[in-house]
C-alpha cells in the first residue's frame, strides 16, 4: 500500500564486501558501532542492499534481528495509526544506524522507507547475540531498546494529538504501567501535580484541569485528592484511538 508499484524491490548485492575493505568505513566507523576490532563484527554476517526511492526497508511486525547502517541516501521511519494517518517518528541520513527499537521486540515497530536511492548495510545481530553476549549484556540491551520504543510512543502521544487525547492516553499509560508492576490498573495515586502533567504533555495547567473536570462530568474518571479511579476504560480508550 505504501510501496508504490513504481518502486522496484531492494536488490541484495552479491559478494558482500568485508567491513575492513568497505569504502564506507569512514562513514560507518564514526557512527560508533565498529571500534578498532572490526573483525569481531565481520563474524556476524552483513549484507549491503540498494533501495530505490519509496522502497520499504522494513515494516511493522516483520521479524527482525538486524540493524541497518545507512551508507548513502536517507530514510524516514513512521507509523500508521488506526485512521490510516502516517506519523513520521524520525529521519535518518548517511552514517546513521537504524532499527535499534526493534531489538527488544524481535520485530520491526515502524515502517522504514527510502526517501531517495539509498544503500543500506544490514548488520545481522543473531550471531552476535549467540556468540558474545552475556545474560546481563543482553538484558541491558533489551532494556535500552525498549526505552527507545517508549520514547517514540510518548512522542507519538504528543505530536499531532488534541489536549484531550494526550490526557486520556497519559492516564491509560499510568494504569497500564502500574498494572505491569502488580498494582491496580484502574485505581491509583497520581504522585505528580497537574502542573507537572501539563508540562510533560506540552499543555497549560488550566487545560489539564478543565479536561479532568470534563472527564469527571462524563463519568470517565473519579478523583479524591490525588487518588484517581478510571470508571469507563472503553470510552477513555476510544478517545485515544
Partner DNA sequence: CTAGAAACCTGATCTAAGTCAAGCTGTCCA
Partner DNA sequence: TGGACAGCTTGACTTAGATCAGGTTTCTAG
The footprint of its own copies on residues 159-218 (CB under 8 A) is 159-160, 174, 177-178, 180-182, 191-192, 196, 199-202
Beta-carbon count within 10 A of 37 CB: 8
**3-class DSSP string for 32-64:** CCCCCCHHHHHCCCEEEEEECCCCEEECCCCEC
Which of 116, 176, 206, 235 lies at the binding interface for its own copies (CB under 8 A)?
116
Q: Which does 162 bind (CB under 5 to 8 A by kind): its own copies, DNA, none?
A: DNA
Of 27 and 56, CB closest to its own copies = 27
- Minimum distance from residue 181 beta carbon to its own copies (Å): 4
Q: Which does 194 bind (CB under 5 to 8 A by kind): DNA, its own copies, none?
A: DNA
The size of the chain, in residues, is 241
Of 18 and 195, CB closest to DNA = 195
The site that binds its own copies (CB under 8 A) totals a number of residues, namely 67
The footprint of DNA on residues 187-226 (CB under 7 A) is 193-195, 202-210, 212-213, 223, 225-226
The footprint of its own copies on residues 211-240 (CB under 8 A) is none
Which of 21, 35, 225, 234 lies at the binding interface for its own copies (CB under 8 A)?
35
Cell of 153: 510512543
Neighbouring C-alpha atoms within 13 Å toward the C-beta of 161: 23
**3-class DSSP string for 204-217:** CHHHHHHHHHHHHH
Say which residues have a Cβ less than 8 Å from residue 185's Cβ, sequence separation at least 6. Answer: 175, 176, 178, 179, 230
What are the helix (H) ranges across the chain? Answer: 25-28, 38-42, 126-132, 135-158, 163-180, 194-201, 205-217, 233-240
Say which residues have a Cβ less than 8 Å from residue 197's Cβ, sequence separation at least 6. Answer: 167, 170, 190, 208
Cell of 51: 533501495
Residue 208 CA to its chain's centroid (Å): 26
The footprint of DNA on residues 102-161 (CB under 7 A) is none
Q: Which does 205 bind (CB under 5 to 8 A by kind): DNA, its own copies, none?
A: DNA
41 binds its own copies (CB under 8 A): yes
Residues lying near its own copies in the complex (CB under 8 A) are found at 26-27, 30-37, 40-41, 73-74, 76, 78, 86-91, 93-95, 97, 100, 103, 115-116, 128, 132-137, 139-148, 151-152, 154-155, 158-160, 174, 177-178, 180-182, 191-192, 196, 199-202
Residues lying near DNA in the complex (CB under 7 A) are found at 6, 53, 162-164, 193-195, 202-210, 212-213, 223, 225-226
Amino acid at each position: 500500500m505504501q510501496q508504490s508499484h513504481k518502486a522496484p524491490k531492494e536488490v541484495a548485492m552479491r559478494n558482500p564486501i568485508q567491513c575492513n575493505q568497505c569504502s564506507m568505513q569512514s562513514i560507518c566507523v564514526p557512527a560508533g558501532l565498529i571500534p578498532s576490532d572490526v573483525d569481531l563484527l565481520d563474524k556476524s554476517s552483513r549484507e549491503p542492499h540498494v533501495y530505490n526511492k519509496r522502497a520499504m526497508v522494513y515494516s511493522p511486525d516483520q521479524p527482525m534481528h538486524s540493524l541497518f547502517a545507512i551508507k548513502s541516501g536517507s530514510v524516514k521511519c513512521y507509523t500508521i495509526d488506526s485512521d490510516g494517518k502516517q506519523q513520521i517518528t524520525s529521519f535518518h541520513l548517511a552514517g546513521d544506524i537504524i532499527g535499534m527499537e526493534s531489538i527488544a521486540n524481535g520485530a520491526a515497530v515502524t515502517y522504514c522507507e527510502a526517501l531517495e536511492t539509498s544503500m543500506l548495510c544490514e548488520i545481522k545481530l543473531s550471531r552476535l547475540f549467540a556468540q558474545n553476549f552475556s545474560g546481563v549484556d543482553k538484558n541491558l540491551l533489551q532494556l535500552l531498546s525498549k526505552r527507545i520504543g517508549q520514547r517514540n510512543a510518548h512522542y507519538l502521544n504528543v505530536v499531532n494529538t488534541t489536549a484531550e487525547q494526550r490526557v486520556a492516553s497519559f492516564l491509560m499509560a499510568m494504569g497500564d504501567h502500574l498494572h505491569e508492576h502488580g498494582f491496580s490498573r484502574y485505581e491509583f495515586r497520581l504522585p505528580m501535580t497537574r502542573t507537572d502533567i501539563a508540562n510533560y504533555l506540552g499543555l497549560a495547567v488550566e487545560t489539564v484541569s478543565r479536561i479532568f473536570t470534563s472527564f469527571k462530568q462524563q463519568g470517565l474518571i473519579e478523583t479524591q485528592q490525588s487518588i484517581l479511579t478510571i470508571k469507563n476504560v472503553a470510552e477513555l480508550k476510544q478517545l485515544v484511538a
